[in-house]
Structure 1
């Protein structure tokens, strides 16, 4: 399912933002988080939505259907990480959007989805990818099995170098740091990455930098910590919009964040 919003001033050739929802499979709400930015900047918003009925559990969304019920890696053409690119390509072919104008943002489970998408299938048609407040990460290593690492997926050193040299943007709310936060992944591999989402994001970025040094390749990831924001999809959407379309993080009041606000 696609949830979309077209601002009154949007026309093909302007920017398009794809949005990946969190574990609540609430693509309609994530689309709405981007409506203020769409109206300010003349954007089209496209939120691919994977229902829990059809894609039950994290293994069938966050983990992209990369493994089957027995834990075996499935054929790459069946991974749902390919879906956003297929949608973007179809919209280009239909002349709804122009080539090279699409960006994609994901929060929480959507952040898990996006960094794994980039790890395994690349940026595709997207000019920018921002993964925010992911619960845990597939570390850039070929030694640890997926989803804690990339081993067993067919990824090789060339794929790893492309990942590290890509402009992947990792975002984390400075207040999204609670070890007992709701819906925080708690399997041993996740806990080993840090007590909270902020710590795990820092760990992921540091692991990428270290791996780039070990491989002798470039490291082009960007890492942004957003002050005053916890696990808040609306506020992190506003932060990403500010960076992308205004060149800066918005002021705290514009983020609309509060310590009790949670959007999964």
Structure 2
């Protein structure tokens, strides 16, 4: 049965979710709901990394949820029904035979349907909704904005993606947006959206086995921090060529590498503490990365 309503209890929860476009691929939605959260209080959608650990990413935001009265919603795509990068980061856009899948199959509309299920249950009404994704989730978020637009979200952060889909129709997806049936107006809308590329300046490891290393990714730079700068520079040049504004920005988090917990805390401070970026010490720099 397709999930039509979601009603998370107070505190942590993990709720099953069957998406209308993928009835044979079960998801989970990991939530944290403060006791005082009302339907028009803020909502943060969180996209997990490659480990498909939406429960961890939900938990990274709990302190901020209690402090700022945020509903945390982490749609979680298990690896078995949504395998590899093709089944999550790349949104099931490319089918097994290499062809572009029907748009109805793409995953980038799933967060919107999760929000619809929360609305149907009366959990949310018309709140300010933001979306944050780290690592593979950062790939998911910026590709979602490119293909679905940002109408659902007041703000969006792509944090430490391994590589980027470039805003051009001249290169085939996922390197660019070619082959998807998009037109130049779609690029203009993406450029107009105030997307934040959120980059830890210590995310400079080149030997990480999880760092995308195909030629298209390496062409963007040797590490994630360099690729963030490449993406913004490419976008500004392309927007200038088209004669349209580019409203993107790159925000650097000093002293932090590929750490989803620290980047989540930095994002919460930026959004809810007046644009503040805490120090690495305050963010709790970790020796081991959290993917």
Shorter-normalised TM range: over 0.9
Three-state SS of the structure 2 residue aligned to 1:103 is: strand
Give the structure 2 partner of residue 196 of structure 1.
Answer: 223
Q: TM-score, normalised by structure 2?
A: 0.88
Q: How does 1:89-100 map to 2 (within 5 A)?
A: 89-100=116-127
Count the aligned residue pairs: 263
Map of 1:2 onto structure 2: 29
Q: Check if 1:256 corresponds to 2:279.
A: no
1:98 positional shift = 2.5
C-alpha deviation, 1:66, in angstroms: 0.3
Match of 2:38 among 11, 35, 48: 11
Distance 1:159 1:89 in 2: 24
Q: Which residue number in structure 2 is paired with residue 75 of structure 1?
A: 102
1:33-65 CA distance string (max 9 Å, x none): 000100110111010000001101100100000
Which 5+ residue runs of structure 2 have no aligned equivalent? 1-27
Q: CA deviation at 1:100?
A: 4.3
Say if 1:144 and 1:151, in contact at 8 Å, map to a contact too.
yes
Alignment counterpart, residue 193 of structure 2, candidates 166, 169, 180: 166
Question: Distance in 1 between the 2:145 and 2:256 partners?
Answer: 25
TM-score when normalising by structure 1: 0.97
Does the Cα contact within 8 Å between 1:138 and 1:149 map onto a contact in 2? yes
What CA RMSD, in Å, does the superposition of the two structures yield over aligned residues? 1.0
For residue 18 of structure 1, report the CA deviation from its aligned partner.
0.7
Q: Which residue of 1 aligns with 2:3?
A: none
Q: Which residue of 2 aligns with 1:214?
A: 241
Q: Residue 102 of structure 1 contacts residue 126 of structure 1 at CA under 8 Å; is this kept in 2? A: yes
Distance 1:201 1:20 in 2: 18
Aligned to 1:107: 134
Secondary structure of 1:131's partner?
A: strand
Following superposition, the deviation at residue 212 of structure 1 comes to 0.9
- 1:42 partnered with 2:98: no
User: Is the Cα–Cα contact under 8 Å of residues 140 and 150 in structure 1 kept in the other structure?
Assistant: yes
